[in-house]
Every structure is written in C-alpha cells, then in structure tokens.
Chain A
Amino acid sequence: MNTPAATGAPPETRGLESAFEDTIARDQRVEPRDWMPEGYRKTLVRQIAQHAHSEIIGMQPEGEWITRAPSLRRKAILFAKVQDEAGHGLYLYSAAETLGADRSDMTERLIEGRQKYSSIFNYPTRTFADVGVIGWFVDGAAICNQVPLCRSSYGPYGRAMVRVCKEESFHQRQGYELLLTMMRGTDAQRAMVQDAVNRWWWPSLMMFGPPDDNSPNSARSMAWKIKRHTNDQLRQRFVDMTVPQAEKLGVTLPDPELRRNEERGHHDFGSPDWAELQRVISGDGPCNAERIARRRAAHEEGAWVREAATAHAAKQAARTREGAAA
C-alpha cells in the first residue's frame, strides 16, 4: 500500500498532456472521459469511422450472393457472415460515439463521400468463388490488421476489436472451406477458384495501405499506440501466412516474384500497383459509385421505418403517462 497517495507525497503538478503521455508510455488504456490531445481524438475518429464504414459497405459484395448461394447451408452461412459485418460496423460506430462523434453524421459523411472505407470493397464479386476468396484473403488480411488493434491504446476501440476478431475467425474458415469444396469439384470449378484468386490477390495486399515510406499518418499512430505495426510489417505477415494455405488448396498466387527467402525467414513478393490503389481510394474503382448509391438508397428507403419506430415509441410513452395519470 505504498502508493504516493498512501504515503502522503506532495502531489506533483503535471499537465494534462503529460498525464496522457504517461498513460500511453505505461501501456495503459485511454478511456472515453479522459483528457486526450485533439489530434489523438481526430485520428481515432477518422480511423474508427473508416473501419466502421468498411464493415457496413463490406456487406454488399457478399450480400449480393445470398440469394444465389448454391445450397441452404451456404445461404445460412453467408447470411450469418453478412449479419456479423453489420454487427462489426455497429460495435465500431459505438466506439466512435464515445469520442464525441455523432452516428448519423458519420452515415451522412459516408454517403456524401466525405469519409472513406476500405478500397477492397470497390471490387466486384463475379462468381461464387469470390465469396470464398473474400473470406480467405480479405478476412485473413483483416485478421492480420485487427489482432494487434485489440491492444490499441484507446479502450473502447480495443474492446470492440476483441469481439470483432473472435468472429472473423469463422469468416476466414468458412471461405477457405468453401474453396476446398470447389477444388474437389470439376475442372470448371477449380478454374473459377484460380480466377478469383488472381483477381483478389493484389487488391488484398493493398488493404494494408501504402508502403511505409509513403504512409503519412503511420508514425504518429504508432507513437500513440493506436497502431501497433506498420503497413509493410502486416502485409509481410499476411503473405507469409497465406502462401502455405495456397499450396494446400492447390492454387497459384499470381506473383512471379513470390518466393521464400531463407535468409530473411520471410517470403519476398512483388509490389502492388500503388497507382491503382490511389485511383480506387480517390473514387475511381470499379464499384465505388455503385457501393455508395446502394448505401444511400438503403438509408433513404429505410427512413420510414425509423420514423415509424420513433412514432411508436412516442405513442407508447404517452400511453404510459396517461395510465399513470388515470
């Protein structure tokens, strides 16, 4: 019980900022009502909102396949997965709200194109094999990104990530299992899987963001322990993790430069087309307009449901008041 308070040591006079820096340095978590620098708050709101939007927009490429999934089992699985993505979005909006962000404001910013979401969801899902490859690559990449975020310095974000990560594991496994099943099928099915792998490999590597020497926000986010690893470190981890899975599956990853480097203990691999990433991020990907239009339509066409629920709640509250008065 030999704490400063217990020994009656004179209180040091330190600023709010150094108390915050102390919390970060001691690897403790920052909680919603703590003082925090405006830059920290803004960076978190930007990152968490972008992450939440990605989950919500991410429902679309796979949601398109629910009605066309080849069996009741696959439909049920896909339904559950898409529902999880919605849940992940809501966990994250909830975390952003603890920082003072407003939920309907975030939705507006998304449908007006003022806040971004992951570039990966601007690519089309052409065949059912794409559903499998998204689970394997995209959710696999998301796991690489998100596991370290469970230790993010901002408490509510880290806690949301713990829940998200538990659920992502099912997403990745169902995708890989789907592909294993197709690979045991016909030549046409195997070709379909290889085609999906070819189309999704490079965009998946881009999910980790620009290379470290061109990632303006990384250093500060690392110093604040919002991020724990650099984009390139996470990309490397994803490649190393995926190569043996591809071998087991019997597909070829479309990179002639991909090979094991025994010296480094990692795989060397080619460089994604960063100009393409820039184009997709700035709105010129294959599906950007379609994704936003769909989100906007869902929001606007759902307005009457929100209004009806509000009216119902008001009526119930009035009845309760009348009942109490009578």
Chain B
Amino acid sequence: MSETTKGDWPLYEVFVRGKRGLNHVHVGSLRAADDHMALTHARDLYTRRNEGVSIWAVRSDTIAASTPGEKDPFFAPSGDKDPFFAPSGDKVYRHPTFYDIPDDVPHI
C-alpha cells in the first residue's frame, strides 16, 4: 500500500462479492482518479467472467491494518504468531473441545 508518487491516481483495494450470501473478498488493487472510475475499472478488470455481483473499492490509504509479527521477532517466535493476536492464543476455554463431556451424552 505504497503512497502515490508523481501525481499518480490513488491506489484502491478491490473487494468482490462472488454471489449473494457470500462475503466480499479482496481480489487486488488498481489505480483510479476517483471512486466512480475505481468501480468501473474494477468491473472491467476483476469481473470479466461473472466473478461477482457486487464490488467495493476502497482507497488503500484509508485502510487501517495490523502490523505483521515478523516485524517484532522477539515476541513472534514462530513467524505466524503475532503479538497483536496474543490475546486470542491463550484462552483455550473459548473452544468447545476444552470441555470434557461423557461420550454418551447426546446432541452436544
């Protein structure tokens, strides 16, 4: 998500909803002069073969993103363990398998 240089059009990230009932999924980026052009270019570039029923185009410089753990090796030993996500790693009781239930209890 680099900043624009030399008067380039801004960078947009494009998200496409494949069909009704699915989330929008990030498919790539493009440059456009404004939001309207971003949408029409996204249509021509990312949905030439019925890939979507809805498009979001978002200015890349407006996206807030977490920093990958690789930038802080001391706290991120395994590469994909990000300190930012540490709170989700040590609460095993949030998972259903944490609880011992006898095998003969039905429907649980």
Q: Are B2 and A102 in contact (CB under 8 A)?
A: yes
Q: Are A312 and B33 in contact (CB under 8 A)?
A: yes
Q: Are A5 and B81 in contact (CB under 8 A)?
A: yes
Interface string of A292-326 (1 = CB under 8 A from B): 00000000000000100110110011000000000
Q: Are B90 and A5 in contact (CB under 8 A)?
A: yes
Size bracket of the B interface: 35 or more
Mark the stretch among A31-39, A171-179, A222-230 that contacts chain B. A31-39
Q: Are B76 and A19 in contact (CB under 8 A)?
A: yes
Q: Are B5 and A31 in contact (CB under 8 A)?
A: no
Question: Is B30 an interface residue, CB under 8 A from the partner?
Answer: yes
Interface string of A151-167 (1 = CB under 8 A from B): 00000100110010001
Size bracket of the A interface: 35 or more
Chain A residues in 8 Å Cβ range of B7: 310
Given A4-B77, A11-B77, A33-B68, A309 and B33 touching (CB < 8 A)?
yes
Q: Are A34 and B68 in contact (CB under 8 A)?
A: yes
Q: Which of A1-56 contact B (CB under 8 A)?
A: 1, 3-6, 8, 11-16, 19-20, 22-23, 26, 28, 31-35
Chain A residues in 8 Å Cβ range of B80: 23, 28
Chain A residues in 8 Å Cβ range of B37: 309, 313
Interface of B, secondary structure class, is loop
Distance in Å: Cβ of A165 to nearest Cβ of chain B: 13
The count of A-to-B residue pairs whose CB atoms sit within 8 angstroms is 108
Chain B residues in 8 Å Cβ range of A282: none
Q: Are B92 and A35 in contact (CB under 8 A)?
A: no
Interface string of B87-101 (1 = CB under 8 A from A): 001101001011000
Q: Which of A84-98 contact B (CB under 8 A)?
A: 84, 87, 90-91, 94-95, 97-98
Question: Is A256 an interface residue, CB under 8 A from the partner?
Answer: no
11 contacts across the A-B interface (CB closer than 8 A): A4-B77, A5-B81, A6-B92, A13-B74, A13-B77, A90-B45, A105-B6, A160-B28, A309-B9, A310-B33, A313-B34
Q: Which residues of A contact B (CB under 8 A)?
A: 1, 3-6, 8, 11-16, 19-20, 22-23, 26, 28, 31-35, 80, 83-84, 87, 90-91, 94-95, 97-98, 100, 102-105, 156, 159-160, 163, 167, 306, 309-310, 312-313, 316-317
